[in-house]
Amino acid sequence: MLAPEFFPVYGGAGNYVLQIAKQMPSDVEMYIVAPRRHDSIGGGKEGSSSLDAIVPPSAHVTYLGDAKDVFFYNFSFQFNCAKHIPSMIDSLGIDIVHSQSAMPDYFLSPKKLGIPTVTTIHTTIEGHIEALKASRTPFGQLRRSEKFSLLLGPLLKVMEDRYYTDMRMYISVSEWAKRQASREKGIDPSRIRVIRPGVDSEVFNPSRKEEASAFYGRLAEIKMPKVLFLSRMATRKGIHLLLRAIPKVLAKVDAHFIFAGEGTRPDFDIPEKNYTYLGHVPRDHPAYLYSLSDIYILPSLYENFPAAIHEAMASGCAVVSTDICGIPEMICNDVDGLLIPPNSVDAIAESLVRLIENDTLRSSLGRTARNDVVKEYSWKKTAIQTRELYLSLRG
């Protein structure tokens, strides 16, 4: 398993690899190859001892290089994979290479490796760039990695088009992504298997409120409805839109907004009593924040199948997100969440006011959301389906 991000968990792809490793049946020997991640992009570094307590003995981790930058480190990881993976395949008797959509195996030809290669499609460069353009955010206000994505976009798209070929098999985490990959990259749909990510509904559980108060006592004491934005402070996550919507919300109702996630602290034009900025939080703290919150908001401009939505749903939050990409496969509008059009400050404000004013609707959406997620999604199911694909490729 080639993982450009892994542990400590930094994003959706890192969480995906970690959960697959935890839940994969023990008859599958996994060798996870990843860069070692440092404080500069994650707000902390956890050692191998903490990882050993999480993954089973059948999962082995090898670090190739360091991840010191959220954009450029992936290029060095690609070269490290090209240098070391062929010998690892020979010495360890590897049967299958499973990579992620950041193209860590870009310089490793599946034909030359001589064994099946599987790639999980999380996001695409093309999708990132379109989302940044759609945000209409001035270039100077973008994050450093977002600026590089735009500047190097044409080159990265050429690389991506070269990478996505019928020489490999694919796992798509949504039906939307399967359609996109087939249409944009010309991949034979029969080579794409949809395997949806799971959620740990025991970890993400509304009953954790009391436990959460030990870490976030001040938040637990706040009586007004609490709205959580827990994601990277990135343009494509819609943080700029939410910040513009909040004054419209507060003009009609009282609420407290919680901001948590990696990235540069935004400028807040909000009364201090109406928001809490936490920044990066420890890996096991999102569950506490969901359980303390009444509403979870993710007004993204581009996503595939964001784990945070299912985590919030499992925690009993009323979820508001955009009607884009794979998100409508996760939320049924007005049943277990609210879907709004993208890039609309007014839609964000109206949906939040509606939920803040209506306790009954808010509770109903949260209760139905948890029931739906618990019934349909688990990481064990995801791991078993992935194992089935592995076995089919071995023949």
Give 247: exposed, middle or buried? Use CB within 10 Å, 0-12, 13-18, 19+. middle
Q: Is the pLDDT of residue 345 over 70?
A: yes
Rg over alpha carbons for the chain, rounded to the nearest Å, is 21
- Which pTM was predicted? 0.87
Average pLDDT over residues 81-106: 92
Cα separation, 344 vs 274, in Å, equals 22
Instruction: Please state which CATH class domain 12-198+378-394 belongs to.
Output: alpha beta
Contact 230, 290 (CB under 8 A): yes
Cα separation, 361 vs 320, in Å, equals 13
Contact 276, 259 (CB under 8 A): yes
Contact 61, 30 (CB under 8 A): no
Average pLDDT over residues 216-222: 95
Cα separation, 54 vs 331, in Å, equals 30
Cα separation, 351 vs 200, in Å, equals 27
Residue 211 DSSP code: H
Average pLDDT over residues 319-334: 96
How many Å from the N-terminal Cα to the C-terminal Cα in the chain?
19
Among 88-92, 139-143, 164-168, the range scoring the smallest mean pLDDT is 139-143
Average pLDDT over residues 352-368: 97
Strand partners, 107: none
Quick one: pLDDT at residue 41? 41
Contact 256, 277 (CB under 8 A): no
Cα separation, 67 vs 63, in Å, equals 10
Where would I find the H helices in 186-222?
Answer: 209-213, 217-221
Cα separation, 21 vs 172, in Å, equals 18
Q: Is the pLDDT of residue 214 over 70?
A: yes
Give 324 or 165, the one with higher predicted confidence. 324
Contact 270, 246 (CB under 8 A): yes
Cα separation, 273 vs 217, in Å, equals 15
Average pLDDT over residues 162-180: 91
Backbone angles phi, psi at 271, to 5 degrees: -55, 140
| Same topology between domain 12-198+378-394 and domain 206-376 | yes
Contact 132, 142 (CB under 8 A): yes
Classified as helix, coil or strand, 110 is helix
Average pLDDT over residues 226-235: 93
Tokens of 119: 């790639």
Cα separation, 297 vs 327, in Å, equals 13
Architecture of domain 206-376: 3-Layer(aba) Sandwich (3.40)
Q: Is the pLDDT of residue 250 over 80?
A: yes
Tokens of 355: 């939920």
Quick one: pLDDT at residue 11? 66
Share of the chain above pLDDT 90, in %: 63
Quick one: pLDDT at residue 134? 67
Band the pLDDT of 373: cuts 50, 70, 90.
very high
Give 14 or 187, the one with higher predicted confidence. 187
Quick one: pLDDT at residue 336? 97
Quick one: pLDDT at residue 170? 96
Q: Which residue ranges make up each domain of the chain?
A: 12-198+378-394, 206-376
User: Counting every residue, how long is the chain?
Assistant: 395
Strand partners, 296: 228, 319
Average pLDDT over residues 266-282: 93
Average pLDDT over residues 179-198: 92
Classified as helix, coil or strand, 131 is helix
Highest mean pLDDT among 13-17, 62-66, 302-306, 377-381: 377-381
Quick one: pLDDT at residue 255? 97
Alpha-carbon 333 to chain mean position: 21
Contact partners, residue 380, CB within 8 Å, separation at least 6: 23, 198
